[in-house]
Amino acid sequence: MKNELKSKVWFITGASRGFGRVWTEAALQRGDKVAATARNPASLAPLKEQFGENVLLIELDVTNPTQAAQAVRQAYDYFGRLDIVLNNAGYSLVGTIEEAHSDEVKAMYETNVFGPLAVIQAALPILREQGGGHILGTSSNLGHVTLPVIGYYCSTKWAFEAIHESLAAEVQAFGIRVTIIEPGAYATEFASQDSLRFAAGMDMYAGVKEQFFQSLQTLPKGDPLATPQALFKVVDAESPPLRFHLGSENLPWVRAAYAERLAVWEEWDAVSVSAQSLNGRQS
């Protein structure tokens, strides 16, 4: 890894709370510059008072593609370049697969998937023109595994992961790097009313949901303030990873999940191979 001494310019969505706020403040404290976006930029006013011209506060609802494009351009025009584009805004829909209404699922996809896409598509021409940059997206360990009751949220992260993996291959030739940040459970505001939406409940799932919420209480939760230095190592690396687990609990869980999947695929491999051609042999 190689640390670059010059300050970096960040564009961060969802900067008003949670990881977005922690990473915005940490980047500014280390001397970087940040275009900090939020639906209510007034909540970021103390940062302007403290860091002055090094921070630009921008109103942005990521579900508005026009506003997203304007925000990216405003940040570029103000700072003269964009080094890091970090999509962090998102929320979770709480409800079983049967309970959640399609409109609720679509609304979450607008924020968690199509919002980041709007920002990325607006930023790519700028990053190509300036000869490079680093696109980061806040996913989750739930981009690899799932939990009941928040299955639709998990699905947004699986989509998020696939989009960024394809993107990384597509833009590598332009000097643009892509990293998916995959936090485990952290003591952020993500479980607050601002970050959760609840589908109308059905009595038959009450037990499943009670068990789910009880299990959440026992999850080890990381300290958000412990994350910035790890994130800086990623953005300062000469060859940053495509995927980066944040926290200590992810890898054991993901390793076990993939081991189980591989075991099942291996068990059924003969049947899978038999479906390749009518004579039962691979072509």
Q: Would you name the residues annotated as active-site residues?
A: 139, 153, 157
Residue 56 identity (one-letter amino acid): L
How far is it, in rounded angstroms, from Cα 133 to Cα 84? 6
Residue type (1 letter), 84? I
Query: Do 244 and 179 contact (CB within 8 A), yes or no?
Result: yes
CA distance 74 to 197: 31
129 vs 18: CA distance, rounded Å: 32
* CA–CA gap between residue 76 and residue 66 (Å, rounded): 16
Which pairing describes strands 55-59 and 176-183: parallel, antiparallel, or unpaired?
A: unpaired
Neighbours of 226 (CB within 10 A): 12
248: number of Cβ within 10 Å: 10
C-alpha–C-alpha distance, residues 88 and 116, integer Å: 8
